[in-house]
Amino acid sequence: DAKTTQPPSMDCAEGRAANLPCNHSTISGNEYVYWYRQIHSQGPQYIIHGLKNNETNEMASLIITEDRKSSTLILPHATLRDTAVYYCIVMMEYGNKLVFGAGTILRVKS
């Protein structure tokens, strides 16, 4: 599985959009980009995944660049409850194992 690079931390004002970047320059053609988050002391929670088209669900949007070497997770209206560690993971669509990096600590501030 391709490796990912994320900034160690980011701040966001409550009510504003949070844009979390991820680089995955070695991604292969059949690998998807997955995002999970981990709210303090809890198990990771699935957010969204995509291959090359932009994706949106009730939690977030995922924007993948045309060359697929990077992506951005967007939380449109961040709340204090969105404060968490966000993990960007590259994996085959039906891959077995999630490989976690250090992730990005997102702090949403009032």
Binding stretches for another protein (CB under 8 A): 36, 41-46, 49, 87, 93-94, 96-103
- Beta carbon of residue 9, minimum distance to another protein (angstroms, whole number): 12
- Beta carbon of residue 86, minimum distance to another protein (angstroms, whole number): 11
Query: DSSP E strands: which ranges in the chain?
Result: 9-13, 18-23, 31-38, 45-50, 55-56, 61-64, 70-75, 84-92, 104-109
| 14 vs 95 by CB, closer to another protein | 95
| CA pair distance 16, 44, nearest whole angstrom | 23
- Beta carbon of residue 45, minimum distance to another protein (angstroms, whole number): 7
| 17 vs 39 by CB, closer to another protein | 39
